[in-house]
């Protein structure tokens, strides 16, 4: 397996396409050459190559895991009614997606739906809500995750658009907490530091029906994992989710710092890290490497044979 990861690394390391995100100033400092691959099986075996132990802020990938924790608390009927499960067909930070849909969010994996999902986190104070998110995402990863305070401050200074989205949802009555508090919580969850190895473990927890294969801790129920994976399949790569599912054939979730986590249900998870992004905000090397490994390992859920 390690040879297959190293072959994939060599195959795509020289790809020069894509641009490192710079709308959050601290993210612009990333090296465009960073490239890491990690795979964790549902039985807890791990294989890594390249910059798989380099920490980066989790960004949008946090949305899938906070959604899991909220569905676990509130149940999938209520969360589906409130947040939705359909693709917007629009960029991740779209305001139009709200306006075109009667003031409602469409799904939990773009900013509007993620802010609304974070507003449903249990707890009476901001600190309690934050502890819930922090402890929950750490359980998925199998150890306590740290915060990148620099990324947090940098995004807090520039996240006027997300504050606007939260305020717009408030105007429609579709957010369950003060919009500024929600934006802070959401920005903080996006600033948690992970490595590709952590992401692969988080994904393997979903692949294994909610049990972390490294610690054995039961983080969410199997029915919650199932819901999260279906929402990742339809929305995990924003408006490019159809292209992704067509090419890779597995649920995945990306973030603007360059991470992608992909889940082979029942089998395990593959995580990639490479900062240069395409126009939709998905890692260019990450997409190519995952597509290649999906084909090589026969992981496409829609394929009957290895092609």
Ligand X SMILES: NC(=O)CC[C@H](N)C(=O)O
Residues in contact with ligand X, shown as a per-residue x/- string from 181 to 220 under the rule CB under 6 A: ---------x------------------------------
Can you say whether the dihedral through the CA atoms of 129, 130, 133, 135 is positive or negative?
Answer: negative
Is there binding between residue 93 and ligand X (CB under 6 A)? yes
Residue number with the smallest Cβ distance to ligand X: 60
Of residues 196, 281, 286, 293, which one binds ligand X by CB under 6 A? Answer: 281
Is there binding between residue 235 and ligand X (CB under 6 A)? no
Q: Is 238 annotated as a binding residue?
A: yes
Q: Is 295 annotated as a binding residue?
A: no
Q: Is 85 annotated as a binding residue?
A: no
**In the complex, least distance from residue 14 CB atom to ligand X, rounded to whole angstroms:** 25
Q: Is 60 annotated as a binding residue?
A: yes
Is there binding between residue 92 and ligand X (CB under 6 A)? yes
Is there binding between residue 300 and ligand X (CB under 6 A)? no
Least Cα distance to 207 among 189, 232, 237 occurs for 232
Touching ligand X, residues 60-79 (CB under 6 A): 60
Binding-site residue ranges for substrate = 60, 111, 155, 162, 186, 238, 256
Where along the sequence are the contacts to ligand X (CB under 6 A)? 59-60, 92-93, 111, 155, 162, 190, 255-256, 281
């Amino acid at each position: 397996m390690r040879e297959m990861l190293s072959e994939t690394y060599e195959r795509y390391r020289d790809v020069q396409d894509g641009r490192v995100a710079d709308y959050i100033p601290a993210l612009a400092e990333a090296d465009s050459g960073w490239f890491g691959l990690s795979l964790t099986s549902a039985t807890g075996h791990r294989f890594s190559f390249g910059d798989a132990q380099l920490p980066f802020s989790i960004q949008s990938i946090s949305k899938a895991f906070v959604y899991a924790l909220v569905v676990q608390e509130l149940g999938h009927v209520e969360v589906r009614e409130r947040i939705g499960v359909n693709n917007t067909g629009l960029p991740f930070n779209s305001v139009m997606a709200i306006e075109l849909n009667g003031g409602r969010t469409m799904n939990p994996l773009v900013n509007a739906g993620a802010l609304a999902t974070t507003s449903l986190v249990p707890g009476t104070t901001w600190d309690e809500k934050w502890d819930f998110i922090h402890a929950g995402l750490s359980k998925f990863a199998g150890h306590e995750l740290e915060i990148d305070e620099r990324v947090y401050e940098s995004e807090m200074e520039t996240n006027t658009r997300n504050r606007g989205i939260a305020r717009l949802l408030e105007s429609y009555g579709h957010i369950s907490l003060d919009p500024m508090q929600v934006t802070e919580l959401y920005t903080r969850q996006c600033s948690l530091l992970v490595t590709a190895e952590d992401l692969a473990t988080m994904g393997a927890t979903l692949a294994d029906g909610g049990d972390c294969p490294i610690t054995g801790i039961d983080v969410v129920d199997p029915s919650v994992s199932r819901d999260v994976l279906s929402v990742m399949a339809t929305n995990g790569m924003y408006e490019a989710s159809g292209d992704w599912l067509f090419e890779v054939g597995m649920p995945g979730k990306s973030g603007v710092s360059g991470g992608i986590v992909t889940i082979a249900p029942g089998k395990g998870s593959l995580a990639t890290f490479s900062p240069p992004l395409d126009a939709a905000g998905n890692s260019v090397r990450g997409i190519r490497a995952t597509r290649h490994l999906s084909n090589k390992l026969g992981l496409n859920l829609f394929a009957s044979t290895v092609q």
